[in-house]
Chain A
Amino acid sequence: MRSLGRRITPALLLLPGGAWLIAFFAIPMAFMLVISLQTGTFDTGYQLTWNFAIYPEVIAEYWDLYVRSFIFAILTTFITLAVGYPVAYFIAFRGGRFKNILLLLVILPFFVSFVIRTLNWRMILSDNGIVFGPLKDIGLLPPDFHFLATPASVVFGLTYNFLPFMILPLYVALEKIDRRLIEAATDLYASRATAFWRITFVLSLPGVFAGSLLVFIPAMGDFITAEVIGAGNPQVFMVGNIIQRKFLDSLDYPSASALAFVLVAAVMILIAIYARVVGSERLTS
């Protein structure tokens, strides 16, 4: 049996993207890695001192920020999954010829700048704005209630901005499920719910896997939501914020870089665990 494998070797497929990533990602990042091991100051310059000690130092000092970011990111992932799954399901199974249009609609708000979306949300959610004003007027909420500048609002902001990153992969996995399998299952299992969980959901797991990664990973490193929606409240200060701070304001490049690589390592470990738990071989090949 002839296989495509002999025609297009994997190397050729990997080459363009791989070369691009090496040139514009790996090399710059290697450079940053080296910086993390240097000592010095902005003015006097940095010397490579192999200062590995910086890693335990930053972890010891800022581990709570990693935990907080993790909590925000994992909450965001769960909520986007819970909210995005029904929508992806609807588009995939009931969308019919409007499937592509609905997909476009899902992602359409995100072609309009982040600033516009977020600042408008801030306006909508302001203390006495269009949502909370009336609620306070009729007494449903105490007059000093505020949503912005709280951890909940940051999770809200993250959820909103990463929703399409969950919906699209979910749709991709759901859409290719053979309907006849589900019909067969509904005949087998009397209830539609069981048919769903045992067949549809399981078959959509690659999408769940992809979507949760596409949401969790960037959410973990996010800094802008905490600044704009979270108003820079100390309770929402995330890893992304300290990295920004160290790099831009404190001009402490080694620390910023070390913090970044700790983040990368932490997320990679989490991904590895996640993949193992979910059985990624099945999901990705």
Chain B
Amino acid sequence: MRDLEQRSSIELAIDRYVRQDQLTRRAFIHRTGRGMLAVGALMTIPGILAACQSGGSESGIRWLNWPAYMDLSEDEASFPSIEAFIEASGIDVEYNEGLLDNADFLAQYSPDLRAGNNTAWDVMSPGGWVVERMVRNDWLEELDHSMLPNWTANCADYAKGLWFDPDNTHSVWYQGGITGIAYDPELTGREITKFDDLLDPEFSGRVGGFSDMRDMFGLTLLSLGVEPENATIEDVEAAQQKLLGAPEGQFRGFYGNEYYDALAAGDLAISVAWGGDVTQMNLYDNPNILFVVPETGGMRWNDNLIIPKGGANLEAAHQLIDYYYSVDAAAMLSSYVGYFSPVTGVDTRILEDAAAAREDGDTETADLLDTLAPTVVLTDEQSANTFTDKVMTEEEEAAWNDLFETVIGA
């Protein structure tokens, strides 16, 4: 009996499978299978070729930089200052905007650097604390200042002698900025001047903090009257307590780059922010937002040009670095990127360009450049009221990080 049942069920099943259902399904299988294999095969060659394209040329150099940190042509297809360099020097430059995050960068490249391998980059532009670590671990080539005449001639004082590299032996300033507070006066209802305004219960749920430990603690320490450079662990504990003591739900979040969207869209009324971003925001996305350096002080930061160890083309790398200290290149760069330039004379040059544009009848560009010019250099006033990170030992850094973790939710 069971045998019969089994057989009949098998026959029924086989019968079902030879009907149309099975036919179309099998055809689908074959087609999909063949399709996938075809796609796979077709794509492999161009895929590998595309991936291999990134191999550098013998005489050229490769530069790893942040996105949106280079002047862009009108059609957004090329970088004028780089093109100019290639033409003038004859050195081919492969420019890559793959540096997305300081911490990610360190994690990605420390294995190679530790092993003494070539990182495949000739020039990189990470931030201060990363360079600090790289210097400590001897992962950077020493800069030969005899090959950097423009730097010697044009570098502004505020851009020399970086706190983690006082003699610029391994790094020079690329672009810099200030971390302060940005706010929408319509949403806050009043003027903002103090760090403590971030903790005003009136703004509960609409305040943005930073997920960057140095920026966030830095501003808090300043509000307690402590300069970050000299802060002790007790000071940082006090800063931590101050942040934890904020009213429940005060901070909507501790942001990375995403604060920009939230601020421009009005989800945040007030937030820790980078000055250059707000300039951008005003020009394009939200003209209401105002940027202010807190009364107690803001944080000054910068990204740096460095040459990792193992690079093949030291001379060319130096030439590229020096090129960006020429007023021409610096002006090109600064007209597009809204941060502080380390080059003296950049603001005058941009004003000259503005005047030239106005003569040509291009008032839009002229206005833009006029507004931009004063913002690309660090004024003495700003310099006086902004402070830099502390050069920490590993133990200190670990302790500060531990304290910060509780603030952001651990």
Q: How far is the CA of A41 from the CA of B267 in the complex (A)?
A: 40
List residues of chain A with CB within 8 A of the CB of B137: 43
Is B367 engaged at the interface, CB distance under 8 Å to the other chain?
Answer: no
Would you call A231 and B258 a contact (CB within 8 A)?
Answer: yes
Q: Is the CB of B394 within 8 A of A231?
A: no
Verify if B104 is at the interface (C-beta below 8 Å from A).
Answer: yes
Check if A128 sits within 8 Å of B408, measured CB to CB. no
Kindly provide the distance from the CB of A94 to the nearest chain B CB, expressed in whole angstroms: 15
Tell me if B251 counts as interface (CB < 8 A to partner A).
Answer: yes
Which of B110, B258, B402, B409 has the largest count of A CB atoms less than 10 A from its CB? B409
**In the assembled complex, how far is the CB of residue A46 from the closest CB belonging to chain B, in whole angstroms?**
11
- Chain B residues, CB < 8 A from A43: 133, 136-137, 394
Find out whether the CB atom of A146 lies under 8 angstroms from the CB atom of B205.
yes
- B402 near A250 with CB under 8 A, answer yes
Chain B residues near A146 (CB-CB < 8 A): 205, 252, 267
**CB neighbours of B408 from chain A (8 A):** 232, 234, 237, 245
Asked if A237 meets B394 with Cβ closer than 8 Å, knowing A122-B261, A126-B267, A251-B106, the reply is no
Within 8 Å of chain A (Cβ to Cβ): is B85? no
Q: Is residue B119 within 8 Å, beta carbon to beta carbon, of the partner chain?
A: no
Task: Give B1-45 as 1s and 0s: 1 = Cβ < 8 Å from A's Cβ atoms.
Answer: 000000000000000000000001000100000000000000000
A249 at the interface (CB under 8 A from B): yes
Distance, CA A42 to CA B103, complexed state (A): 13
B-contact bits for A207-245, CB 8 A (1 contact / 0 none) = 000000000000000000001101111111100011001
Q: Whole-angstrom distance between the alpha carbons of A233 and B407 in the complex?
A: 10
- The answer on a CB contact under 8 Å between B211 and A232 is yes
A47 touches B (CB below 8 Å): no
Point out the residues of chain A lying under 8 angstroms from B256, CB to CB: 227, 232
The CA-CA distance from A126 to B205 in the complex, in Å, is 13
Contact B410 A62 (CB under 8 A): yes
A6 at the interface (CB under 8 A from B): no
B265 and A234 contact, CB distance less than 8 A = no
Partner of A149, one of B101, B252, B401: B252
Q: Which residue of B209, B213, B265 contacts A127 across the interface (Cβ within 8 Å)?
A: B265
A250 engages B267 (CB within 8 Å): no
A237 B409 Cβ-Cβ under 8 A: yes
A234-B101 Cα distance, complex, nearest whole Å: 21
A242 touching B394, Cβ below 8 Å: no
Q: How would residues 113 to 131 of chain A score, 1 for a CB under 8 Å from any chain B CB and 0 otherwise?
A: 0000001001100111100
> Do A42 and B409 touch (CB < 8 A)?
no
Contact at B103–A252, with CB atoms within 8 Å? no
- Chain A min CB distance to B165 (Å): 16
A122-B261, A230-B253, A232-B254 known; A144 vs B205 contact (CB < 8 Å): yes
The answer to whether the Cβ of A3 comes within 8 Å of any Cβ in the partner chain is no
* Residue contact A235 to B410, C-beta cutoff 8 Å: no
The complex places the Cα of A252 from the Cα of B404 at a distance, in Å, of: 14
Cβ contact within 8 Å between B28 and A237: no
State in angstroms the CA–CA spacing of A146 and B268 once bound together. 11
| A232→B401 contact, CB < 8 A | no
Report, as a range, how many residues of chain B touch the other chain.
Answer: 35 or more
Cβ 8 A contact of A235, one of B206, B265, B409: B409
Q: Does B398 contact A (CB under 8 A)?
A: yes
CA distance A129 to B136 in the complex (A): 48
**A51 vs chain B, min Cβ distance (A):** 15
Chain B minimum-CB-distance residue to A41: B394
B residues 81-117 near A (Cβ < 8 Å) are 101, 103-104, 106-107, 110
Segment 155-180 of A: residues with Cβ below 8 Å from B: none
B133 close to A249 (CB less than 8 A)? no
Complex contact B398–A250 (CB within 8 A): yes
CB atoms of A249 and B252 under 8 A apart: no
A245 (CB) vs chain B CBs: closest residue: B405
A44 interfacial by beta-carbon distance below 8 Å: yes
Q: In the complex, which residues of chain B have a beta carbon less than 8 angstroms from the beta carbon of A247?
A: 107
Interface residues of A in 63-94 (CB under 8 A from B): 65
Q: Tell me the smallest distance from the CB of B396 to a CB of chain A, in Å.
A: 11
- Nearest A residue to B9 via CB reads A178
- If A42-B394, A231-B252, A252-B398 touch, does A245 touch B262 (CB 8 Å cutoff)? no
Residues of A within 8 A of B265 (CB): 123, 126-129
Query: Residue on B with the closest CB to A247?
Result: B107
Assembled-state Cα–Cα distance A251/B261 (Å): 29
Task: Specify which of B106, B256, B265, B407 lies most central, judged by the most chain A CB atoms within 10 Å of its CB.
Answer: B265
Interchain CB contact (< 8 A) of B253 among A127, A128, A233, A249 = A233
In the complex, what residue of chain A is closest to B244 when comparing beta carbons? A234
B190 CB → nearest A CB, Å: 17
The docked-state distance in angstroms from the alpha carbon of A236 to that of B206 is 16
A228 to B398, CA, bound (A): 26
Q: Does A194 contact B (CB under 8 A)?
A: no
B103 neighbours in A (Cβ, 8 Å):
248-249
Known A247-B107, A248-B107; contact A234-B407, beta-carbon cutoff 8 A: yes
Q: Which residue of B lies closest to A253 (CB)?
A: B107
Within 8 A of B (CB), among A100-141: 100, 119, 122-123, 126-129
Task: List the A residue with the shortest CB-CB distance to B211.
Answer: A232
CA distance in complex: A248, B100 (Å): 13
- Chain A nearest Cβ from B31, distance in angstroms: 11
Once the chains are docked, how many angstroms separate the CA of A105 from the CA of B205?
38
26 A-B pairs in the complex with CB atoms less than 8 angstroms apart: A43-B133, A97-B24, A123-B265, A127-B265, A127-B266, A128-B266, A144-B205, A146-B267, A149-B252, A227-B258, A231-B208, A231-B253, A231-B255, A232-B253, A232-B255, A232-B408, A233-B251, A233-B254, A233-B409, A234-B407, A234-B408, A236-B409, A245-B401, A248-B104, A250-B398, A250-B405
Sample of 13 further A-B pairs with CB below 8 A, known A127-B267, A232-B253: A41-B394, A144-B205, A149-B253, A231-B254, A231-B255, A231-B258, A232-B254, A232-B408, A233-B252, A233-B254, A237-B408, A242-B405, A251-B106
| Interface pairs A-B: 7 shortest CB-CB | A237-B409, A231-B253, A234-B409, A248-B103, A250-B401, A232-B254, A232-B253
**Interfacial residues, chain A to chain B (CB-CB below 8 A):** 41-44, 61-62, 65, 97, 100, 119, 122-123, 126-129, 144, 146, 148-149, 227-228, 230-237, 241-242, 245, 247-252
* B residues whose Cβ falls under 8 Å from a Cβ of A: 24, 28, 101, 103-104, 106-107, 110, 133, 136-137, 205-206, 208-209, 211, 213, 251-256, 258, 261-262, 265-267, 394, 397-398, 401-402, 405, 407-410
